[in-house]
Amino acid sequence: MILPIAFFISLLFGQLGAVSPAPGIYIYAHDIILGILVISFLLRARNFQFSIFPAKRDPATRDNFQLLAPIVAFIGASILSVIANAYRLEQATILRGFLYIARWGFYSTLVVIIASSKRQTLWLSGLYFTGVGFAVIGIIQFFLYPSLRNLLYLGWDPHYYRVFSTLLDPNFTGIILVLTLFLGIAVKPQLGRPFIAKIISGIVGIAFVLTFSRSSILALLAGLAVWIVAKRKWNIVWIAVILLGIYIVMPKPGGDTLRIFRPESTMARISNWQESVRLIATSPIAGHGFYALERTFAKAKEKHMRHIRIVGYMSLAGLLVHSMFVNSLFYAWVMIWMWMLVGAASRDPSTSSG
C-alpha cells in the first residue's frame, strides 16, 4: 500500500506540486506517482485479461471492462476533433490538446487498477481522506494565507478571504469538498464511531462554506436533490433551503464580489452560455477540439456506478452542474476522483492484484 498512500499524498500537493516544462504544459506530482503505479500494476498483472468486447461467457470480465469501448471511442473522437480543427489552431494549442487527451486516457488507467484490487474500501477511504486533507489545509490557509493577490503576476485570480487550499482556486477546491461530502456516505461505516464521521464531515463542511463558491453550492444542491429523490427523504429539502439561506446571509470577508446574486457574475455567466451555444452551432459535428464529448463521458460513467451507485449519481449530478460554471469535468483532480469512483464501482471480487 506504499504506492497508493504516496499517490494520495501527492494529490494534496495540488498546484504546489506542478512543474511546467513548457508554457501552458504542466506535470503534477501525482502524475509521476500514478505512472509508477501503472508500471507496478503491469508488472504484477501477468494473468490480467482485458478486452474491448469481452466474451459473453465471461460475465465478470464483461461487467468490469465494458467501459473500455467508450473510453477508446472518446479518445478517438477527441483526436479527430483536434485534427479537424488543426488548420485554424496554433501548433502550441494543438500540442496542448493532444496532451489533454493523453492525460485523460492516462488517468482512466485508475479504473483498471482499482477494479482489479481487493482493497476497494482502502482506495475509497484514501480518496475520502485526501478530500479531508484539502479541507484541513484550506482552513489553515484561510487564516494564515487568506489572499492570492500576491500571485496575480503568475496568472492566478486574486481571491481574498476564501478557502482555496493547495489548488489555489476556491471553485475547484469547492467541488472537491462537495465530492468529499458525498463520498462520506459510502465510507462512513469504515470510520468507526458515528461521532467521528460527524466531526470529519463538519470540518469538510466548514471548509466548503468558506470557499464561498456559488458553483459549488449549486453542485451540492444538485447532489442533495439526487439523494432526496433516490432515498425519498423529502424532509431533507429543508437542509438544502437552510444551506442556501446560511450562504446568503452569512458575512463575507471578501466583500461584494462574493454575493450570490452579484449582477456582474450573472451577466458574465449568461454571456458564456450564449458563446457556448454559438460555438456548438458553428461546428456541431467536429466540435472545436478536445472538449466536444463531455456528455458522452458523463453517460459512460453514469452507467457504471454500481456498488456505490448513489454516491456516483450524486457526484455526477453535482459535477455536471458545477461544469456549467467552470471547466471542472476535465480538471485533473476531478478526473482522478471520478475515475477512482468508477474503478471502485467496477471492482471484480475474483481479481487478485493488490
Residue type, position 88, single letter: R
Q: What pLDDT, on a 0 to 100 scale, did the predictor assign at position 121?
A: 82
pLDDT per residue over 216-235, tens digit each? Answer: 998 998 998 888 888 887 77
Residue 182 falls inside a structural domain:
yes
Which of 181-185, 286-290, 292-296, 320-324 has the largest mean confidence? Answer: 181-185
For residues 198 and 188, give the distance between their C-alpha atoms in angstroms, rounded to a whole number: 9
Element at 238 (helix H, strand E): helix 237-249
**pLDDT, mean of residues 7-14:** 97
HSE value, Cβ hemisphere, 13 Å, CA-based, for 337: 29
Q: What pLDDT, on a 0 to 100 scale, did the predictor assign at position 269?
A: 53
Residue 106 falls inside a structural domain:
yes
**pLDDT, mean of residues 186-205:** 86
Q: What pLDDT, on a 0 to 100 scale, did the predictor assign at position 174?
A: 96
Integer-rounded Cα radius of gyration of the chain: 20
Kindly report the CA angle at 152 between 92 and 320, in degrees rounded to 5?
65
Closest CA to 207 of 154, 142, 291, 272: 142
Residue 350 falls inside a structural domain:
no
Average pLDDT across the chain, whole number: 78
Distance of CA 124 to the CA centre of its chain: 14
Q: Cell 446574486 identifies what position?
A: 261
Res 80 pLDDT > 60: yes
Res 68 pLDDT > 80: no
Q: What pLDDT, on a 0 to 100 scale, did the predictor assign at position 255?
A: 55
Q: Would you state the cell numbers that stand for residue 240, as one nine-digit string?
A: 438544502
pLDDT confidence of 258, banded at 50, 70, 90?
Answer: low
DSSP labels for 171-234? HHHHHHHHHHHHHHHHHGGGG-SHHHHHHHHHHHHHHHHTT--HHHHHHHHHHHHHHHHHHT-G
Three-state SS for 27?
A: strand
Residue 354 falls inside a structural domain:
no
Residue 60 falls inside a structural domain:
yes
Contact 190, 125 (CB under 8 A): yes
Task: Tell me what percent of the residues of the chain surpass a pLDDT of 70.
Answer: 74
Per residue in 36-66, is it b (16+ CB within 10 Å) or e — as a string? Answer: ebeeebeeebeeeeeeeebeeeeeebeebbb
Q: What pLDDT, on a 0 to 100 scale, did the predictor assign at position 294?
A: 37
pLDDT per residue over 322-351, tens digit each? Answer: 888 888 888 999 999 999 988 887 754 444
Give 344: exposed, middle or buried? Use CB within 10 Å, 0-12, 13-18, 19+: buried
Q: Which domain holds residue 320?
A: 2-345
Q: What pLDDT, on a 0 to 100 scale, did the predictor assign at position 348?
A: 46
For residues 335 and 340, give the distance between their C-alpha atoms in angstroms, rounded to a whole number: 9
pLDDT confidence of 158, banded at 50, 70, 90?
Answer: confident
Q: How many domains does the chain have?
A: 1
pLDDT confidence of 307, banded at 50, 70, 90?
Answer: very low
Residue 120 falls inside a structural domain:
yes
Give 6: exposed, middle or buried? Use CB within 10 Å, 0-12, 13-18, 19+: middle
Contact 323, 334 (CB under 8 A): no
Residue 352 falls inside a structural domain:
no
For residues 98 and 92, give the distance between their C-alpha atoms in angstroms, rounded to a whole number: 10
